[in-house]
């Protein structure tokens, strides 16, 4: 076999995992440093509304199941986030590459939340189990529907203080009932430009550079008369948009 080899599996009791993201940082203030023998720090959004950050080691133990050896990775939970019940569950995650420990999430209840993990952990005495921490920033999109994709703004010039500040604080998110993705600045409780409402669903987005992003639009008819609830048609369009505030 010359294909990829499974490093191992992570076993938890939090239900279905909707998204996972590796941290771009191996060292975050307040969090146990990722060792040289570790794979990295992995954020996972669980079905029970919890977001865990696990320190993932290389394969260490084997559990035999059904005659096949499965490598179970004994992860250590370095941080545990929780969102208010009214916001639903977390659908998507993204680490900020310009601000160590800043983790954003989009929820089924139509909100964007952010944890500044370094700030949270430095303010509490961490002994024993990791207690869930509520987000440091919550922005309700006002009926925009579930937030299915979220991405921090990249920086084209790390030496430029203005560009670096934007990448530390601005993220784009995509939801069900907006005509285009929304750009949010976590320094303020507002969006960077007026958002338009629409019937298409925006299931995915990615920044092309610090100014432009590409978004996928699902314009399939999801009404009961034209299809089963939740049924989607093939992605039909992709377009690049530029935020108004640069």
pLDDT at 43: 95
pLDDT tens digits for 3-45? 677 777 888 888 889 999 999 988 876 666 788 888 889 999 9
**pLDDT (tens digit per residue) in 207-228:** 777 677 676 766 555 443 343 3
Q: In sequence order, what are the residues at sequence separation of 6 or more whose Cβ sits closer than 8 angstroms to the Cβ of residue 88?
A: 49, 107, 108, 109, 146
Query: Can you say whether the dihedral through the CA atoms of 182, 194, 243, 213 is positive or negative?
Result: positive
For residue 187, the SS3 value is coil
Q: Which residues sit opposite 43 in a β-bridge?
A: 21, 53
Question: DSSP for 18-68?
Answer: -EEEE-S-S--TTSPPPPTTEEEEEEEE-TTSEEEEEEEESP-EEEEETTE
- CA distances, 21 to each of 5, 10, 40, 221, 230 (Å): 20, 14, 10, 31, 25
pLDDT over 70 for what percent of the chain? 68
> So what's the pLDDT on residue 191?
60
139, pLDDT greater than 70 = yes
Report field, pTM of the whole predicted structure over 0.85: no
């Amino acid at each position: 076999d010359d294909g990829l080899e499974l490093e191992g599996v992570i076993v938890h009791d939090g239900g279905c995992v909707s998204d996972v993201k590796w941290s771009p940082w191996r060292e975050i203030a307040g969090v146990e440093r990722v060792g040289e023998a570790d794979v990295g720090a992995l954020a996972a959004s669980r079905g029970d509304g919890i977001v865990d950050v696990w320190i993932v080691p290389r394969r260490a133990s084997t559990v035999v199941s059904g005659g096949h050896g499965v490598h179970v990775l004994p992860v250590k939970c370095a941080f545990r986030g929780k969102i208010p019940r009214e916001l639903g569950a977390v659908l998507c995650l993204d680490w900020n590459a310009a601000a160590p420990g800043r983790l954003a999430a989009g929820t089924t209840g139509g909100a964007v939340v952010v944890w500044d993990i370094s700030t949270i952990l430095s303010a509490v005495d961490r002994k024993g189990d990791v207690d869930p921490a509520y987000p440091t920033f919550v922005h309700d999109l006002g009926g925009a529907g579930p937030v299915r994709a979220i991405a921090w703004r990249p920086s084209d010039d790390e030496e430029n203080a203005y560009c670096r500040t934007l990448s530390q604080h601005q993220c784009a998110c995509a939801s069900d009932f907006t005509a285009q993705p929304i750009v949010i600045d976590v320094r303020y409780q507002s969006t960077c430009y007026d958002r338009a409402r629409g019937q298409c669903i925006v299931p995915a987005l990615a920044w092309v550079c610090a100014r432009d992003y590409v978004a996928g639009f699902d314009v399939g008819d999801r009404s009961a008369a034209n299809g089963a609830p939740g049924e989607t048609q093939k992605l039909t369009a992709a377009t690049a948009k530029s935020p108004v505030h640069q």
